Structure 1
Amino acid sequence: MSRFDIVIIGAGIAGASLAAEVAPHASVLMLEAEDQPGYHATGRSAAFWSETYGGPLIQPLTSASGPWLQDHGLLTPRGELYLARASEWGEVERMMAAFNGRVVMERWSVEQARRWLPGLSNDFAEALWMPSCTDIDVAGAHQLFLKGARQAGAELRCGAPLERAERMGSGWRLVAGGPVIEAGVLVSAAGAWADQVAALAGVPPIGIQPYRRTVVQLEVDPPAPADLPLVMAMDGSFYFKPEAGGRLWLSPHDETPDSPCDAAADELDVAVAIDRFEKAARWPIRRVERRWAGLRSFAPDRLPVYGFDPLEPRFFWCAAQGGFGIQTAPAAAKMAAALLLGRQVAEIDPAPYLPDRFRNGGSR
């Protein structure tokens, strides 16, 4: 039997970043169900850092994460262009007001947008330009967190899905494909499986729902310029960005409810993505080279969940990061680690993200 202060279920970006923060102060074990960490959502990210993505309550975590990502050479300038139809004038106004003074935005005419997209449909009437958006080296960030955790003494066991979690006086007795493990605190950082981990531990689920997100890689003619920005539809119906070799990564921005699984792209979602792209821009597609899907998991209020469960003080949530888990990981891990270690949270108010909101007459 082995004993750890903290056992983290999941070694994707959420679990790895948290382990890197707490391992210098406690004994830590990461249990990863797959044969390699980051196989699911972390390894299937569209790899961009956008200060507006996820909304105003996610922006503080994203903005606070930028300096760490930049200092470690993980960000590459990209820029972001939101396309709006005439009927979406109100949405443009609301977005500018929501991030006023916190994110740099420029209102562009459709003619300015056509400097990037000459074949842009006449359906669009204006655009919003956000220069702070960048690409993220997702694999690089994940490996840095894993390396930091390992160097601080954390242990990683892959191919070790949690099978049983029993509450004992001072913590937990866990079974995960090997000898019994004792833990002081059990952390659910299992992405789409976060509620399942809670259920194994006898903790009421929060209602975290996985949603499938589809991405396709296109060969287009002419090839996509390397400096093309991330292009988003204001109504959330698509986004695309350039990839190496003049390719495009295109998503229909789908959110299809799913169960925790090894997600795969559905052909209908691929067809929807291509149809929306062809209606938005006259840009011939030569062929679809690849297609894949990942699961983005949301709590009922679409905010992440960080903190001890008020119904079980030895169970900690680090879950429901939606599609913004990677871009917020550095700041979110620091905040979560402070909560986990019983320390004062420095930069960001954790109140919107605490699991208390789903208990004791909260929003659940």
Structure 2
Amino acid sequence: MKHFDVAIIGAGIAGASIASEIGADRSVLLLEAEDHPGYHSTGRSAAFWTESYGGPLVQPLTTASRAFLDNPPAEFSQTGFLRPRGAVNIGRDDEQHLADKFLADFADNGLTMARWSWAQAAALVPDLKPIWKHAIHEPECRDIDVAALHAAYLADAKRKAVDLKCRAPVTRIRKQDQMWELIAGDETYHATVLVNAAGAWADGIARLAGAKPVGIQPLIRNMVQIETDPPSSQDMPLVVGLDGSFYFKPEAGGSYWLSPHDEIPAEPGDVAADELSVAIAIDRFEKVMDVQVKRVTRKWAGLRSFAPDRLPVIGFDSATADLFWFAGQGGFGIQTSPAAAKLARSILLGQTPDESLHGIDASLYAASRFS
């Protein structure tokens, strides 16, 4: 029976990225329960990169990922994964305090932001209603090609001889002779180190391994695509409510996709959009934009998984030897994936962190904070 140095559970963006990072240095098994990697979360992403998303303690990982996403190594991808978009964060007449707090939260992080009037925001967001008096412009926001990035990580892992097994749900984990024994699908595997990159299932995997869960909660996020009259402008930025109740951006063909920015607690599993969430998303959109919603063209939902403090969990379990956490990446897991995977690599392999991680405090994300 083949023994692996590292077994990674979960082949979404977390598992794929860390497999890519360590595949040249260790023998790696990558286990995925579904028919295809990235089915539940990665494949249902909102597909934008913006430095403020996730808050000021997540922002360093996002910023450190920018160079890789813009200009990846040639052997990883011949093209970058980001395209200019820009973002405008907006608030109503009585929400100046939200704009003030937003700017204050990132005052020391060196981000490019500017306070704008309604007129400045409306110049970029046609049909913006005049009640949205407060705006903060983030010109560095980008669209991110999620599918291409995930595929590139998987392809790079394959080049490095990572052994990907799909349709391999893990049903048993135990320590035997100082090694992990895993039953996944109809097969048994052995590994020295186990990486828990199982997203919404991360706490369940921890329990199987005899470890204490850290409290990772899966949350449903609903998305809707609509057609409007007039149609969307493709040059329009991402629009985000400063109160956290919506975001939307234009899509190809003059449509919009939008979300009520909801977070509905759920058990790990497949999820679908519900009609109430769709209605709420459209209602909030209509309060922002002076357009007519003609029809819904698509609706979907995905899972976002957060630790109790809403920061990623990256590092060895404090009580269970050779169990490494790479989970709790919420809705920011894709935009932080290059830096997060490099940080995980340095901890997992005991190496000096990549120079792109200079100034990042790894202890903020350590799994030991939950011990």
User: What TM bracket, shorter-length normalisation?
Assistant: over 0.9
Question: Does the alignment pair 1:268 with 2:276?
Answer: yes
User: Unaligned regions of 5+ residues in structure 1, if any?
Assistant: 360-364
User: Unaligned regions of 5+ residues in structure 2, if any?
Assistant: 73-79
Q: What SS does structure 1 have at the residue aligned with 2:66?
A: helix
Cα deviation, residue 170, structure 1: 2.1
Report the Cα distance in structure 2 between the residues aligned to 1:243 and 1:311, rounded to whole angstroms: 47
Instruction: Tell me which residue corresponds to 2:14.
Output: 14
Q: 1:350 aligns with which of 340, 354, 362?
A: 362
Question: Does the alignment pair 1:58 with 2:58?
Answer: yes
Normalized against structure 1, the TM-score is what?
A: 0.97
Question: Does the alignment pair 1:34 with 2:26?
Answer: no
276-285 vs 344-353, greater mean Cα deviation: 344-353
Instruction: Tell me which residue corresponds to 1:81.
Output: 88
Asked if structure 1 preserves the Cα contact closer than 8 Å seen for 2:125 and 2:237, the reply is no
Instruction: Tell me which residue corresponds to 1:3.
Output: 3
Q: Given residue 142 of structure 2, which amino acid in structure 1 is its aligned partner?
A: T
Question: Does the alignment pair 1:161 with 2:161?
Answer: no
1:44-88 deviation per Cα after TM superposition (whole angstroms, max 9, x unaligned): 001000000000011000001011010141000000000112322
Q: What SS does structure 2 have at the residue aligned with 1:76?
A: strand
Asked if structure 2 preserves the Cα contact closer than 8 Å seen for 1:214 and 1:251, the reply is yes
Question: Does the alignment pair 1:333 with 2:345?
Answer: no
Cα deviation, residue 153, structure 1: 1.2
Q: What SS does structure 2 have at the residue aligned with 1:180?
A: strand
Asked if structure 1 preserves the Cα contact closer than 8 Å seen for 2:99 and 2:134, the reply is no
Aligned length in residues: 359
1:79-118 deviation per Cα after TM superposition (whole angstroms, max 9, x unaligned): 0000112322122122212212521001110111111334
Report the Cα distance in structure 1 between the residues aligned to 2:264 and 2:193, rounded to whole angstroms: 33
Report the Cα distance in structure 2 between the residues aligned to 1:118 and 1:48, rounded to whole angstroms: 20
274-283 vs 73-82, greater mean Cα deviation: 274-283
Question: Does the alignment pair 1:185 with 2:157?
Answer: no
1:140-197 deviation per Cα after TM superposition (whole angstroms, max 9, x unaligned): 1001101111111111000000010011232201110133211101111011001111
Instruction: Tell me which residue corresponds to 2:147.
Output: 139
Instruction: Tell me which residue corresponds to 2:255.
Output: 247
Asked if structure 1 preserves the Cα contact closer than 8 Å seen for 2:90 and 2:242, the reply is yes
Asked if structure 2 preserves the Cα contact closer than 8 Å seen for 1:212 and 1:293, the reply is yes
**RMSD after superposition:** 1.0
Instruction: Tell me which residue corresponds to 1:318.
Output: 326
Q: What SS does structure 1 have at the residue aligned with 2:321?
A: strand
1:314-342 deviation per Cα after TM superposition (whole angstroms, max 9, x unaligned): 10100000000000000000000111112
Cα deviation, residue 344, structure 1: 2.7
Q: Given residue 300 of structure 1, which amino acid in structure 2 is its aligned partner?
A: P
219-228 vs 33-42, greater mean Cα deviation: 219-228
1:292-319 deviation per Cα after TM superposition (whole angstroms, max 9, x unaligned): 0000000000001000001112101000
Q: Given residue 179 of structure 1, which amino acid in structure 2 is its aligned partner?
A: E
Q: 2:238 aligns with which of 230, 239, 243?
A: 230
Report the Cα distance in structure 1 between the residues aligned to 2:333 and 2:144, rounded to whole angstroms: 12
Asked if structure 1 preserves the Cα contact closer than 8 Å seen for 2:12 and 2:37, the reply is yes
Report the Cα distance in structure 2 between the residues aligned to 1:76 and 1:122, rounded to whole angstroms: 29
Report the Cα distance in structure 2 between the residues aligned to 1:232 and 1:19, rounded to whole angstroms: 33
Cα deviation, residue 222, structure 1: 1.5
Asked if structure 2 preserves the Cα contact closer than 8 Å seen for 1:40 and 1:295, the reply is yes
Asked if structure 1 preserves the Cα contact closer than 8 Å seen for 2:95 and 2:134, the reply is no
Q: What SS does structure 1 have at the residue aligned with 2:214?
A: coil
Question: Does the alignment pair 1:284 with 2:316?
Answer: no
Report the Cα distance in structure 2 between the residues aligned to 1:276 and 1:162, rounded to whole angstroms: 41
Q: What SS does structure 1 have at the residue aligned with 2:94?
A: helix
